[in-house]
Amino acid sequence: MKKIQDSEVRWGVLGVGNVCEKKSAPAMNIVPNSKLVAVMRRDEIKVKDYAERHDVPKWYTDAKDLVHDPEVNAIYIATPPHMHLPYTKLAASVGKPVYVEKPMARTFAECKEMVGICEEAGVPLYVAYYRRALPHFVKIKEVMDSGAIGKIRTVHINMKQVIRPDAVVHLENNWRIDPQIAGGGYFFDLASHQLDLLDFFFGPITKAKGFAANQAKAYMAEDIVTGTFVFENGVMGTGNWCFTTSQDAQIDEITIYGNIGKISFQTFGKGEFALEVDQQEKQLFHLELPYHIQQPLIKSIVEDLLGSGKCPSTGRTGARTNWVMDQLVNAEFLEL
């Protein structure tokens, strides 16, 4: 796999929207041996404004111009999911590594095509499932791998949110609930993080069965999903997601049960988790989250590209998450 021959990763960003204000792109100038050199957005006023505010030397309104810029040697695709496949094709066609936002694409079929394109071109493909690199989730994995809660038996996701969840940014044109753009609704936007995190903890899910429906009819996408799944290592799990619940019923919790204890945490909360082991006092852990939430993952990508480290979130792992979501939503979509 061809990576980068230079001593520095010079990023070009396609689609500098909200995610690039704080979460991701600014970290590219903080990570060692990394620099943000060009940004692109179709709206000239907005892209010029972004470049000026973030001190980015070059800006474009055409994706092809940015991708063909000889100074740019890595591409970050920060658009909604419907553009991930075509922009991945564009970047791979000129031999430049790709970092793509999550979910990786609208469907597993699109993900497979992206993986195939990049492998054929010999360029790395990474996905912005940055929770794989956040300190408290890395610590949770270490605790489980140490045997602190014994043999892992089951894991359970319980997520209830109001019709406009606090966990997402609300835009005038809310593409997150337009299946033609996003692949689905808030389930695809939020549950993708949870399912990918569990893949990081336990490995691939090999079986999944679910039910989905649009109960409230507030938008076109599914607003409730339930499902069961089995990991390759034998761990079993369940998920229950509802995005039209009451204010008081809101919850974001994942609980992992072993044969001698359990771990519980929020996916979208602070850097905290609780460890409970038989005959021991409950322990609470708190690790600080980085100001730029994607910085640890971007650091791992830069190190991977320069040959000094390894990134935990690749096109193949990202595609597995889309496969699970497809199974849970499309297995049986109920017309209510």
Is 253 buried (19+), middle (13-18) or exposed (0-12) by CB count in 10 A?
middle
Predicted local confidence at residue 333, as pLDDT = 54
Is 109 buried (19+), middle (13-18) or exposed (0-12) by CB count in 10 A?
middle
Q: Whole-number mean pLDDT of the chain?
A: 95
Domain coordinates in residue numbering, the chain: 9-131, 135-289
Contact present, 219 and 177 (Cβ < 8 Å): yes
- Mean local confidence (pLDDT), 59-68: 98
Q: What class, spelled out in words, does domain 9-131 have in CATH?
A: alpha beta
The yes/no answer on whether domain 135-289 falls in CATH 3.50.50.60 is no
Please say if the pLDDT value at position 336 is more than 60. no
Predicted local confidence at residue 164, as pLDDT = 82
Structure tokens at 287: 């690790």
Q: What is the pLDDT of residues 274-314, one digit of tens each?
A: 999 999 999 999 999 999 999 999 999 999 999 999 999 99
Reported confidence tier of residue 173, pLDDT bands at 50, 70, 90: confident
Contact present, 44 and 51 (Cβ < 8 Å): no
Side-chain half-sphere of 101: how many Cα atoms within 13 Å?
25
Contact present, 142 and 135 (Cβ < 8 Å): no
Reported confidence tier of residue 166, pLDDT bands at 50, 70, 90: confident
Quick one: how far is CA 215 from the chain centroid?
26
Reported confidence tier of residue 334, pLDDT bands at 50, 70, 90: low
Please say if the pLDDT value at position 171 is more than 70. no
Predicted local confidence at residue 335, as pLDDT = 52
- Compute the residue count for the chain: 336
Predicted local confidence at residue 108, as pLDDT = 96
Predicted local confidence at residue 178, as pLDDT = 94
Please say if the pLDDT value at position 1 is more than 90. no
Q: What is the pLDDT of residues 29-41, one digit of tens each?
A: 999 999 999 999 9
User: Would you tell me how many other CB atoms lie within 10 Å of the CB of residue 142?
Assistant: 10
